[in-house]
């Protein structure tokens, strides 16, 4: 219904509600290693997370993703994944684990 023709499938990369734009692209453009998290909350507010490696889940039944927290503070965090991830979308929850212990989480912002 977008009036776009292509020989390969196109995917929604971003929705810009403010300007009424829909950005589409190829599947490989969905991959990212940098994920920004808003409303980020740590379970132990005194625990330093930056520079440490944890596992993360974006969906309930997915395998753990190895990540490193590169920035954290002011209810936001930036994490870097070990392997590029596809289909990371704004509004998804991200939960960080240290083995079986939840260390924090929030909502993804792209």
Please write the tens of the pLDDT for every residue from 27-62: 888 899 999 999 999 999 999 999 999 999 988 788
Residue 79: the pLDDT is 96
Average pLDDT over residues 92-100: 94
Cα gap 13→22, rounded to integer Å:
8
Helical (H) or strand (E) element with 57: strand 53-57
* SS3 of residue 48 by DSSP: coil
pTM: 0.78
pLDDT at 83 over 80: yes
Dist. CA 105–CA 57, nearest whole Å: 10
Indicate the SS3 state at residue 45.
coil
Which DSSP letter does residue 63 get?
Answer: P
């Amino acid at each position: 219904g977008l009036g776009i023709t292509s020989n390969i499938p196109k995917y929604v990369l971003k929705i810009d509600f403010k300007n009424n734009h829909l950005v589409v692209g190829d599947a490989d453009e969905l991959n990212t290693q940098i994920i920004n998290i808003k409303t980020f909350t740590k379970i132990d507010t005194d625990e330093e997370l930056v520079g440490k490696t944890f596992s993360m889940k974006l969906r309930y039944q997915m395998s753990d993703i190895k990540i490193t927290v590169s920035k954290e503070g002011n209810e936001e965090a930036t994490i870097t994944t070990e392997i590029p991830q596809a289909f990371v979308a704004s509004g998804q929850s991200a939960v960080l684990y240290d083995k079986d212990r939840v260390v924090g989480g929030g909502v993804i912002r792209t």
